Amino acid sequence: MNALTSPWESWEEKTNGQDHAKMIARRERFNCDIPEEVLVLTTGVDVHDELLEVEIVGWGIDEISWAFLDTVSRLNNIFEAF
């Protein structure tokens, strides 16, 4: 329950009315090997004091997943690149 609603009020998610057609139009093609079954890519980054852990996962129907990247980068190496 949201703290701003009373127990008898139902919660209704307010969205910005995102137009899915606009999102589809903004897609970008990447030159990489991703199975056709992958519908969505998600990325997670775990931030530590001196390193970043990055994971990219592709998701298909029935929550089938494919891991495409799982890497650890030391922040020193990242900052030296700039």
What does the pLDDT profile of the chain (82 residues) look like in tens digits? 455 556 677 767 777 767 778 878 887 777 778 888 999 889 998 888 888 888 889 999 998 999 887 777 776 666 565 5
Distances (CA, A) of 13 to 7, 16, 20, 23, 64: 16, 10, 17, 20, 27
d(CA 11, CA 81) in angstroms, rounded, equals: 47
Query: Which pLDDT score is estimated for 1?
Result: 47
Which residue, 38, 40, 73, is CA-closest to 54?
73
Tokens linked to 76: 């020193």
